[in-house]
Amino acid sequence: MKELTFGTLIAVFEEMFGGLFFWLLVAAAIIITLGYIYVLIRDRSMSMRKFLWAQISMPFGAVAAVALVLTVTNSHLADLGGPVDIILFLGIAALGAIGLSILVYTLESFLWPPQQTEE
């Protein structure tokens, strides 16, 4: 690749998902992240009970992310061929796991604020 700048990456992702859908995805990611930070500040602590549910959701996020990549491509787990493939595979799974856990924790915190579920 000739020049892999931030601008190039944005242009490629816009083409991959469609311009509007890509920025909606980015907006969704930013809103969920801001929501997560907001509930952390609002609650001034992490609820371990909610975190437990978030942790339980992680394997599902990991499997869903990998399944998504395999579904949208003509490839299978058996095609993983070298160390970089394993790293990529784990990276996709980790992204799915962390993403879903943040989403679950944030939703829980909005739906059940601390005074209702914890003393």
Name the minimum Å distance from CB 24 to another protein: 14
**What residue spans of 44-113 are helical by DSSP H?**
48-72, 83-111
In whole angstroms, give the CA distance from residue 101 to residue 65.
13
* DSSP 8-state code for residue 45: S
In whole angstroms, give the CA distance from residue 98 to residue 61.
8
CB nearer another protein, residue 78 or residue 115: 78
With CB under 8 A as the contact rule, which of the stretches 42-50, 93-101, 102-110, 111-119 interacts with another protein? 42-50
In whole angstroms, give the CA distance from residue 14 to residue 4.
15
* DSSP 8-state code for residue 74: T
Q: Residue 5: what are its φ and ψ, rounded to 5°?
A: -95, 170
Assess 117 for contact with another protein (CB under 8 A). Answer: no
Name the minimum Å distance from CB 98 to another protein: 16
Name the minimum Å distance from CB 96 to another protein: 16
Name the minimum Å distance from CB 18 to another protein: 10
Assess 20 for contact with another protein (CB under 8 A). Answer: no
Which residues make up the interface to another protein (CB under 8 A)?
1-2, 4-8, 10-16, 26, 30, 33-34, 37, 40-41, 44-46, 69, 72-76, 78-82, 84-85, 88-89
